[in-house]
Amino acid sequence: MSLHTGIKFKTSAPLSAIEDWMDENCQEAWEVEIESINTAMHQKTVAAYFESENDRDAFKAAYKNIR
């Protein structure tokens, strides 16, 4: 498996909500990693990797609504 594209973003959403969205909406392989946690701001920096640019673009369009 080769994950060709990815994005990094900050969020306070639970990682499980992000993974659930990806399970339901991504057509190809994906992976999510927490890169850092800022406890003072209740946020984490997340890296999401995708095999498909279409999946990445769909995630980018939807991720602000993921809770």
Per-residue pLDDT of the chain (67 residues; tens, 9 = 90+): 578 899 999 999 999 999 999 999 999 999 999 999 998 888 999 999 999 999 999 999 998 888 7
Q: How far is CA 18 from the centre of its chain?
A: 6
Query: What pLDDT does 34 receive?
Result: 96
Beta bridge partners of 49: 6, 31
Q: What's the whole-model pTM score? A: 0.86
pLDDT value for 63: 86
Architecture of domain 5-65 in this structure: 2-Layer Sandwich (3.30)
Output DSSP code: residue 64.
Answer: G
Predicted local distance difference test score (pLDDT) of residue 1: 58
Backbone angles phi and psi of 12, in degrees to 5: -105, 0
